[in-house]
Amino acid sequence: MDLTSYAEWAVRLVNDGAPPAELGEVFDLAAAGREDEAVALLNALLTRYPVRPQLSGHDGQRWHLHLAE
């Protein structure tokens, strides 16, 4: 996966207000009690759009999570 694809997806996720259809389906499956399917889909998305979470505390803010490329 190239960084441009990930960056475009991440920007849409943050700015659209609603999750992209693929991610929305994860929440729908989980809400319906279909946990195994939700986990499988989320794992597939994480493979397609890999991220490295990092804890960060800056600018007087509490610890929070950043996603790094």
- Tokens coding 59: 């600018």
Q: Is 51 left (phi over 0), alpha (psi -120 to 50) or beta?
A: beta
Quickly count: other Cβ atoms within 10 Å of residue 37's Cβ: 15
Task: Calculate ∠ Cα 54-36-65, nearest 5°.
Answer: 15
Q: Both ends of the chain: CA-CA distance in Å?
A: 11
pLDDT 10s digits, 6-45:
667 677 767 766 667 888 899 899 999 999 999 999 999 8
Verdict on whether the full-model pTM lies above 0.85: no
Structural domain count, the chain? 1
SS3 46: helix
Give the mean model confidence (pLDDT) for residues 44-55: 84
Domain region containing 53: 3-68
